[in-house]
Structure 1
Amino acid sequence: MQVIEAIKKTKSFVLSLEITPPDKGTSIDELFQTLDGLMQFNPQFINVTYHQPHVVYEEKDGVIYRIPKRKKPGTVGICAAITNRYQVETVPHFICGGFSKYETEDALIDLHYLGIKNILALRGDPAVGERTFIPHKDGHRYASELVRQISNMNKGIYLEELENAQPTNFCIGVAGYPEKHFEAPNFERDLQNLKHKVDQGAHYIITQMFFDFQVFKNFVERAREIGITVPIIPGIKPLTTVRQLSSIPRNFHCTIPHHIVEDMENARTKEEARKIGIKKVVELCQQLLDYKCPGLHIYTMGKGQSTADLLKALFG
């Protein structure tokens, strides 16, 4: 089922989980153990991340070779394994970085043949060692361009003219930033960039994590004001350690309200801080559900226990 179909059909909300592939050379069993403990909450979708490789140059016999190396390969294989094991729809992340438009088209055809119906289309982060995003010389610079290519394939339009070309059937998700993307000069420009992705064919939006309901509410209201009408699903990250109070803002460019920081820092033990963090995020989720959000998207970061604790506290 497509994400957009599930949103339309549900009487409550859609629950999705986001996971990352295991490190190269490690077993998938640990990932399965994490998901085994989360299936009790009946997620309708599981997102699987994808990241650019870091590139190294190695000399062999006087020739310099450019070698891409991936720390966490296996996104498509994991999607297939999850669907086979749990009969849950998967949403592979698909990025601009590292691919030409032709490689992108071929990869999308592979996903279509596998029966994958949903894609989260992203620009992707800069490659390791690069300060700014550098696109493939024959690839896409912006997520909106990737969305347009996928949308065209949904219409049977490929990069070369093909007779009687069969259309794909992808539901396209894109990322939204309630506190703006850190590269955008201002909030208004970032919203216009988001609208452009929707205008190119995106069906729904998943937000970056945030920890203040008013931040999300303002984001939705401003998005609606400029004509963005597609569903906006909030992205949620469990808070479990004091260390996250600095690492999350640094890595994900989002703020954590003072009352959460103060309460967690004043905790007498690590376990008390963990309980406070979970409680605060549960309260946020309750506000979002009261606001009639179409879904909750949980960033598990491979931490199955904290996600389970959050969902148990939220749903009992």
Structure 2
Amino acid sequence: MQDKDNRPSRLLGADSSFRVSFEFFPPKTPAMEEKLWQSIERLAPLAPNFVSVTYGAGGSTRERTHATVTRILKETPLRPAAHLTCVASKRDEVDEVVRGYGQAGVRHIVALRGDPVDGVGTAYEPYPGGYANSAELVAGIKKVGDFEISVAAYPEKHPESRSLAADIDMLKRKVDAGADRAITQFFFDNDLYEAYVERVRAAGINIPIVPGIAPVHNFAQVARFAAGCGASVPDWLAQRFEGLEDDPATRQLVAAAVAAEQVLDLVDRGVTDFHFYTMNRADLVYAICHLLGMRPAKPAPTEAAA
């Protein structure tokens, strides 16, 4: 199979000033699958740098992740990246998954340690015979094949890390093992991201540190996610959504305004790459990209039309 990275894009005319990527999760039901593909079809004309598909704790979505990634590869012009974790799998099992992606034509993997099978609050323990952490996973993927690898970064440190310095040291180990890009956990305080990037650069880490942006479709849900992953929720953000629990129309407008403010402020700080946690919903992300000046790409003319 021809490597997708070397195929000429079927989309022309997208604004090249910014590079965006979109994260989706594999659907559990036919209704969720329909919603996912509606979102993919809505966002695909923006010609993202790549789209990623998440991987459940303990490999619980392994088959659905693979099915979603391969369908994206076969049915769209998009470049998919598959998430992969160390949890509940031996090294040879993980390596076999990597080889399967390579055989399917997937050349980009998002390598993560992963959450414990029992969920948030449970201490992580390496699986017997498995990769102990994400740095080992990156090195293992590189041994299997020449994949592009993205890894996670934490502007407010991983909740299990003893310090931000220890967190940055782990990021350095991932880069030394072969990581090409880091995507941050979502955050709402751009000063924290900027300070983090400065510390990362001071540590000699020079790969792109792409900010992860989470449009607030549901404030209560985002607050729960933030509590589990160590991201702070500023008081001003809670105040923006106060009293809108039963007013979805206004909540949508406020969410768009909040996300646009954050992204445009990052643009003012020199950021050109963004990774959006879509939650399989396209409208807010599409609106933000529009504000960035991105427009739907036009299909390349066919020979007959030319």
**TM-score normalized by the length of structure 2:** 0.83
1:247 deviation in Å? 2.1
Report the equivalent of 2:268: 290
What is the CA–CA distance in structure 2 between the aligned matches of 1:110 and 1:270, rounded to whole Å? 42
Checking the alignment, whether the CA contact within 8 Å between 2:21 and 2:274 is kept in structure 1 is: yes
Checking the alignment, whether the CA contact within 8 Å between 1:14 and 1:294 is kept in structure 2 is: yes
Checking the alignment, whether the CA contact within 8 Å between 1:245 and 1:261 is kept in structure 2 is: no
Distance 1:98 1:291, change over 3 A: same
1:23 deviation in Å? 1.0
Larger CA deviation: 287-296 vs 20-29? 20-29
Alignment of 1:1-316 (within 5 A): 11-23=16-28, 28-53=33-58, 70=60, 73-128=63-118, 131-153=122-144, 168-244=145-221, 246-265=223-242, 269-315=247-293
1:34 deviation in Å? 1.9
What is the CA–CA distance in structure 1 between the aligned matches of 2:293 and 2:128, rounded to whole Å? 48
| Number of equivalent positions | 280
What is the CA–CA distance in structure 2 between the aligned matches of 1:84 and 1:71, rounded to whole Å? 20
Checking the alignment, whether the CA contact within 8 Å between 2:26 and 2:61 is kept in structure 1 is: no
Name which one, 1 or 2, has greater alpha-carbon Rg: 1
What is the CA–CA distance in structure 1 between the aligned matches of 2:62 and 2:281, rounded to whole Å? 16
CA RMSD of aligned residues (A): 2.4
The gaps in structure 2 that reach 5 residues or longer are 6-14, 295-306
Q: Percent identity among equivalent residues? A: 29
* TM-superposition CA deviations, 1:60-86 (whole Å, max 9, x none): xxxxxxxxxx36741112111012221
* TM-superposition CA deviations, 1:35-68 (whole Å, max 9, x none): 11222322221100011348xxxxxxxxxxxxxx
1:248 deviation in Å? 3.4
The gaps in structure 1 that reach 5 residues or longer are 3-9, 55-69, 154-167
Larger CA deviation: 92-101 vs 265-274? 265-274
Which gives a bigger RCO, structure 1 or 2 (Cα 8 Å, sep 6+)? 2
Checking the alignment, whether the CA contact within 8 Å between 1:264 and 1:273 is kept in structure 2 is: yes
What is the CA–CA distance in structure 2 between the aligned matches of 1:304 and 1:73, rounded to whole Å? 24
Whichever residue aligns with residue 239 of structure 2, its letter is: E
What is the CA–CA distance in structure 1 between the aligned matches of 2:110 and 2:242, rounded to whole Å? 35
SS in 2 for 1:224: helix
The list of structure 1 runs, each at least 4 consecutive aligned residues, that deviate by more than 6 angstroms after superposition, is: none
Whichever residue aligns with residue 131 of structure 1, its letter is: T
**TM-score normalized by the length of structure 1:** 0.81
Report the equivalent of 1:60: none
